[in-house]
Structure 1
Amino acid sequence: MNEYLLHDQSWNGPLIVAVQRAITETFTKSDWNEVGHLTGLHAYITGHKRLLRSLDWGDPDYSDCVFEVVTRMQHHNGQALALLIEHPKVLPLLEVSVPNHLHQLGISVGHVRAVTPSVCASEVVRRALTDADQLIETNGAQSAVDRLHTAMHGYLKAECAAASITISPDATLTQAFKALRTNHPALTNLGAHTTDVAKVLQSFASVLDALNTVRNHGSVAHPNEHLIEAPEAFLFVNAVRTLFHYLNNKLGH
């Protein structure tokens, strides 16, 4: 793990916040005792004036106490902070909220990497992709669904225009993908396993169709009462990122 980054205040803010939130949501007194013994900070943790007492009583200052302990680890014991990051209750939540930070630390995460916009990407697509990455880190994957929908929609329409493929100005996401997949010269040759690759691309058409529905009825794009859950939201994030990477490679960007 790159412990130098853990002390870089211009970089580590979102990571520290994510660690604090994960601990606040999941840790028990037993977890704190375990961390104390593993890090050599057992006396500090158990002797903290409020941490365990606030946890036991469900007091509102518990989250502030967690911040205090995490900050102490950050400044005085980088290995202890690294242990918190890789704790089995903390790491899965960090994989959802700050995957890019984990990647930069050298920790492998089970998510598709963020999309780097191609040089010919429109400003709308660039901005939407940037917004999506930032929202994933700060608010979770649910908040990024709408922006990824916008990015993919804009990207597909732009690629159709670049290849002189005519589509309606108000073409939907799925309509734009169908037009591109059917008419773009680079997508007419799918290699030695055309039939199987075509099946995968057809599956992605279904993904984009479902993304339309989730964006309208399960994301923060509208005042929806029932948002898509975080793991399912990341399923869509990963699927859209995967399609982005494939199309960028296939279309020569």
Structure 2
Amino acid sequence: MQEGKSVLRDGVNTETVLLAVAKAIQAKFTRSDWIELGLLTGVRQKIMDHNRLLRSLDFGDDDYFGCVAEVVPLVLGEKARLSPSARRTLSSRFPNFAQVEDFLDLPVWLRTSEPDLYTKLYGGPLPVDALQAAAAKLGVTDVDEHAVRIRRGLREDPAQAIGSAKELLETVLKSILGLHGTGKETKLEVPALIKKANVQLGLNAGGVLGSDAAAEQRRKVLGSLAQVVTSTAELRNAGFGTGHGISQRPELDVPTARMVVDAAVTVAHFYMEANLAARPVDGFEDQEA
């Protein structure tokens, strides 16, 4: 996935998905793109057999968009008949959507070319985007890997999103502390990591910021953030997130998973920015300036 990619909103209208994909294909595709996507999604022959699609593209005919709209459901692998529970998930209706979304770089194209459609499909960007920008300045490349898993997990696998959120927090905190690899010194639980990170950044009661204005209030907020971090780890360890081999894993509803993940990402972003403030990086500009 591309950096900055957004996650689909809950309950997005399937017709809006079809329209967005069709518009992106109309604007971007060559004959070779059609063949490549057909191979990726297993419908190459259906694309080749369409009586007008590629001919209309080659000659720039007026009916090209109509042909695209006819073929898009096939490319997405649309399932016409679904049980009531299956209808709730986009991946059940359009099992090839993730492949097509990646191939088109759909969110990026929609942001610049069809902003209204982007809002209908994705809403505002996840806080992961800002976190990735800060991580890039510090060279913490592992954050990108967790961000991709979080985005896809929120749409398709909440347990994966929670597990990845916990791993994201560990990655960020360990990067602040300079803990790399798999040595004994890196094997710390999340509560211990956050305490050490606070000391490292001077955010604890006895740190360099301890005498600043609103220091007491800052410590209270940090205490709440620490609780978010710890609770995210506890949810994952209780079986609601991936990372342990658990039979008959308990299910967590998507709204709660989203809340947990968004909170964890916000905490991770805070610590990355605090680290940047403590150790300025050349070329980094304060986003709020």
TM-score, with length taken from structure 1 = 0.54
Q: Is the 8 A contact 1:141 1:237 kept in 2?
A: no
% identity of equivalent residues = 15
Matched, 1:247 2:268: no
- Contact preservation (8 Å) 1:128, 1:147: yes
Q: Which residue does 1:113 correspond to in 2?
A: 127
Query: Residue deviations 1:165-208, cap 9 Å, x none?
Result: xx932111121111111232477427532211211111111111
Counterpart secondary structure, 2:151: helix
CA distance in 1, matches of 2:110, 2:218: 32
C-alpha distance in 1 between matches for 2:176 and 2:146: 16
Structure 1 residue runs of 5 or longer lacking an equivalent are 14-53, 69-98
* Partner of residue 169, structure 1: 186
TM-score by length of 2: 0.48
1:7 corresponds to which of 19, 23, 39? 23
Question: Which residue does 2:170 correspond to in 1?
Answer: 153
Deviation per residue, 1:139-183 (Å, 9 max, x gap): 144321111211210110110128xxxx93211112111111123
Instruction: Confirm or deny: 8 A CA contact 1:118 1:248 kept in the other structure.
Output: no
Q: Give the alignment partner of residue 198 of structure 1, picking from 191, 197, 219.
A: 219
1:233: Cα distance to partner? 1.0
Q: Output the CA distance in 1 between the equivalents of 2:250 and 2:164.
A: 18
Measure how far apart 1:111 and its partner are. 7.7
Matched, 1:227 2:251: yes
- Kindly provide the CA deviation profile for residues 108-137 of structure 1, in whole angstroms up to 9, marking residues without a partner as x: 847852231333343433322222223224
Structure 2, unpaired ranges of 5+: 1-15, 29-36, 38-80, 95-106, 282-289
Q: 1:6 to 1:248 in 2, by over 3 A?
A: farther
By relative contact order (CA 8 Å, sep 6+), the higher-ranking structure is 2
Matches within 5 A, 1:1-253: 7-9=23-25, 105-106=118-119, 109=123, 112-114=126-128, 115-116=131-132, 117-137=135-155, 139-161=156-178, 168-185=185-202, 188=207, 189=209, 191-216=212-237, 217-222=239-244, 223=246, 224-252=248-276
Q: CA deviation at 1:100?
A: 9.4
Distance verdict in 2 for CA 1:6–1:135, change over 3 Å: farther
Distance in 2 (alpha carbons) for counterparts of 1:232 and 1:174: 22
Matching residue's letter, 1:228: L
Over 3 Å counting, the alpha-carbon distance change for 1:160 and 1:226 in structure 2 is: same
**Deviation (angstroms), 1:235:** 1.3
Return the offset for 1:106: 3.4
Once the 2 structures are TM-superposed, how far is the Cα of residue 5 of structure 1 from its aligned partner?
7.0
CA contact (8 A) 1:186 1:251 kept: no
Contact persistence 1:177–1:205 (CA under 8 A): yes
Aligned residues between the structures: 174
